[in-house]
Amino acid sequence: MTHPRTTPGPQFALRFNVGGRRSLPTGPTTQRRSRSISTRKEDRLLSVAATRAKQVLVVGRATKPGKPGAWSGLDDFLTGVPELSVPDEVTLSEPATVDFSSSAAAIARADAAHFAADQPTWFANSVTEESRADWFRSPPNPDPTAPLTAETPARRADAGMAWGTLVHGLLEHAMRFPHATRDDLRRLALWLTVEELDLRPLIDHAVATVEGVAQAEFWTAARASTEVHEEAPFAVRDHVGDQPGVLTGVIDLVYRAGDQWQIVDYKTDVAGAPESLAQTHASQAQAYERAWSALTGHTAKALLVSAR
């Protein structure tokens, strides 16, 4: 079927197939319009290309058989324009020597200034990060192929950070609330392991660990102390060489013991022998002592306790 245009202007028809799919317009008018659009597009491209020249526009006249050249739109304007002579050989002048020493010196000065500005004027670090760095600098076992922990019945569960978080949370609660029962600790353990389901079978083991630690002498002394703090955060000024900074940390347990302070740091390391803990965590214990002494103005002593 056909549908003629009723608006003024060149007339053309749209043809539709029986299936309802529209075909492209055809006819002389459409062909002329298509050629006109193509010609205007070529003229625009030619104008853009020609106006890019700043001093001299070089027009190539080479063409392919049966096809106009890319610059054929300028043919009517090139009548009488002399052809450029292209010599067969060209003698190049000697390249001038360029001295880049001043530029290199300027770049070096800029790099030095950027490096100086990029250096920190202060630092922020934690005791745990420092002790971890010390461990990597001098690992207890220099053999990189050796296992990090010994084989245990529940090695994957009771030798990682999640296990340490569980035990520390139970120890904090047991110290803070002297009348907490075993059932109280179990309920807290269920909450602490809500995202660590692998630890659920070890809850009784964790509670028993806390009950064992609570039999130690320091536990009785802490309960009798006039001032005791569980999971005590701190931030003190510190220096590394001439650079000032802030040292932060959290002490598991600290309490007054006469005219000084006693720091207790729980360790859930698998290798929990006292001599092993003292060797592995010596720098951490010393950092706690230094920080708490700076805060209180009194002597502080650190005790490493194996919570296994």
The better pLDDT of the pair 134, 5 is held by 134
Q: How far apart are CA 265 and CA 281, in angstroms?
A: 10
pLDDT at 262 over 90: yes
Can you give the C-alpha Rg of the chain in angstroms? 42
Residue 251 has pLDDT above 60, yes or no: yes
pLDDT given for residue 6 in this prediction: 42
Contact 162, 199 (CB under 8 A): yes
Instruction: Please give the structure tokens belonging to residue 3.
Output: 């549908």
The answer on pLDDT for 11 being more than 50 is no
Answer whether 12's CB lies under 8 Å from 30's CB: yes
The answer to whether residues 13 and 2 touch, using CB atoms and an 8 Å cutoff, is yes
Instruction: Round the average pLDDT of the chain to a whole number and report it.
Output: 81
pLDDT at 287 over 60: yes
Q: pLDDT band for position 132 (50/70/90)?
A: low
In angstroms, the CA 15 to CA 77 distance is 43
Checking if the pLDDT of 57 tops 90, the result is no
Domain boundaries, the chain: 124-139+154-306
DSSP 241: T
Q: Which CATH class is domain 124-139+154-306?
A: alpha beta
Better-scored residue on pLDDT, 138 or 95:
95
- Res 112 pLDDT > 70: yes
172 CB-side CA count, 13 A: 16
Highest mean pLDDT: which range of 63-72, 149-158, 238-247: 238-247
Instruction: At 37, list the tokens.
Output: 């659009």
186: pLDDT strictly greater than 70 = yes
Any idea what DSSP says for residue 253?
E
pTM above 0.85, yes or no: no
Report how far residue 44's alpha carbon sits from residue 50's, in angstroms, rounded to the nearest whole number: 10
Confidence band of 257 (pLDDT split at 50, 70, 90): very high
C-alpha distances out from residue 18 to 3, 13, 276, 287, Å: 14, 16, 92, 90
Residue 30, pLDDT > 70, answer no
